[in-house]
Structure 1
């Protein structure tokens, strides 16, 4: 794989970069876009997720979007020349060198309850604003910038959903990393409710296409192995979130909606490797859930609150 790497690091620390980036970003008006929630996108998203309930026929107007499926809409709109070297959207990137983005976690809150769901056929406005930027260090001592954004989704009835996301921006790669070796497998953990997944390159490609996500770690094996040091294609954090919530919906009865979800990604998952969603029994309207890979690593932890 032929790649050109340039060392253009700023002398600024992560803390000062984050402070300047936050000040500049919050001086600008929020970013708004309005979109029709069309049925074709929902049908194809359902097929990508192997959920046949909405993929056999085109959903009718008024069909509610299942929890977290709004991620199929309001996708990035940058032309290719504006994307990062790794293919990522750069709309909310801090200055270089902190341009290597990873989805760290977030919180989703359904505001309207049963009276206001996002539905097929609605015209919805998404408003996005940057809420925080903070310089931190990894366990290995590498500097990074943690950025928080808040997205509100409003239809004719008012705000239906608030989606708060945290992204980690690490320094860009200037020297290609050696691919990580695959560790020895261990038994997957037991739990009250479990569901196993093994993602294929086809699923990752289709999910990237539908969410218009150009990040190369999800579809370009050469980039994964020869540049970023991953052992294979990386499973999308949002895909894991959706599958986690779909499992919760199936346990509770399919058409239910949560009140609030908090989640945090802690370790990558890879195509072709088996992993397990482990879900607790609900207690005081709260369900704990985690995703564990075949090597003993917890890859995502979450908390789902019922209405």
Structure 2
């Protein structure tokens, strides 16, 4: 499929901003989704990465694309490749979000690039997000989005990646459809790959529902904070392969002398997401 990269790069510098008050109910719903117990009273420090559930784009049903995402060509460039995934990103934490604060997220398209992968064209869109809490800058985020084509029928399967090891610290998780649905609802994410199994298996050719990249990043970041006993100052991550609801997930962590190296994987499978936390 032809991708006019010069046209798409006209979206560089495009910005949008939205705000939302972090209410105690949202914190309780977030905690329930992750089976955690976090303080939710006004003035309490909010859980790490709850900002991914706040001030998200809101599009009417008539403005959604085939995959349930808002149709492209508004804030994000109209990349003609049908598959869209959260490829990775980074967070720099400058201070806590407090329950009851007004959280504002200002987003800017930083870059649009085109590369050639084993399965065809890959288009990367880099978005910067600045998050404030009652006017205080609390998070600087970089988000990497990748777009790719659907492999043609009969295309050779990719070469298997090495099996991921278990970390010194690890724990298991069952990615049930209910968990994926709840996280989609919290983030107002209409992407059908996370809740519509027929769409996943028939249209997209996946073996099951796809586990959210942001949810994996949230679980790894929370694991890092639990192990260290405090929130990291920086957290970076990269998605290497998808996880589905057809197998358990393991969250892993090892100390590397500079911080914590973390990763997700299914039993016997490759690293799905790798991350690094520093303090």
TM normalised by structure 1 equals 0.82
RMSD of Structure 2 on Structure 1 (CA): 2.4
Per the alignment, residue 118 of structure 2 pairs with: 139
CA contact (8 A) 1:88 1:101 kept: no
**CA gap 1:217/1:24 in 2 versus in 1, 3 angstroms:** closer
Q: CA deviation at 1:204?
A: 0.5
* Alignment counterpart, residue 127 of structure 1, candidates 106, 127, 131: 106
Per the alignment, residue 110 of structure 1 pairs with: 93
Per the alignment, residue 131 of structure 2 pairs with: 153
Give, in whole Å, the separation in 1 of the partners of 2:275 and 2:136: 27
CA contact (8 A) 2:250 2:265 kept: yes
Tell me, what secondary structure is at the counterpart of 1:296?
A: coil
Tell me, what secondary structure is at the counterpart of 2:125?
A: strand
CA contact (8 A) 1:126 1:151 kept: yes
Structure 1 residue ranges, 4+ long, deviating more than 6 angstroms after superposition? none
CA contact (8 A) 1:110 1:161 kept: yes
- The 5-angstrom pairing of residues 153-302 of structure 1 reads 153-171=131-149, 189-253=165-229, 256-281=230-255, 283-284=257-258, 286-302=259-275
* Alignment counterpart, residue 46 of structure 2, candidates 65, 87, 104: 65
Q: Which moved more, 1:222-231 or 1:98-107?
A: 98-107
CA contact (8 A) 1:277 1:289 kept: yes
Q: CA deviation at 1:191?
A: 2.3
**CA gap 1:252/1:24 in 2 versus in 1, 3 angstroms:** closer
Q: CA deviation at 1:19?
A: 2.9
Give, in whole Å, the separation in 2 of the partners of 1:166 and 1:138: 16
* Alignment counterpart, residue 26 of structure 2, candidates 30, 41, 45: 41
**CA gap 1:239/1:295 in 2 versus in 1, 3 angstroms:** same
Q: CA deviation at 1:34?
A: 1.9
Unaligned runs of 5+ in 2: none
Give, in whole Å, the separation in 2 of the partners of 1:208 and 1:130: 23
Give, in whole Å, the separation in 2 of the partners of 1:107 and 1:199: 24
Give, in whole Å, the separation in 2 of the partners of 1:92 and 1:193: 40
Q: Are positions 1:52 and 2:31 aligned together?
A: no
Deviations 1:25-52 (A, max 9, x none): 42x4x21112211111111011011113
Q: Which moved more, 1:80-89 or 1:125-134?
A: 80-89
Per the alignment, residue 69 of structure 2 pairs with: 88
Give, in whole Å, the separation in 2 of the partners of 1:236 and 1:84: 19
CA contact (8 A) 1:109 1:260 kept: yes
Tell me, what secondary structure is at the counterpart of 1:288?
A: strand
CA contact (8 A) 2:16 2:75 kept: no
Count of residue pairs brought into register by the alignment: 273
Tell me, what secondary structure is at the counterpart of 2:233?
A: strand
Larger radius of gyration: 1
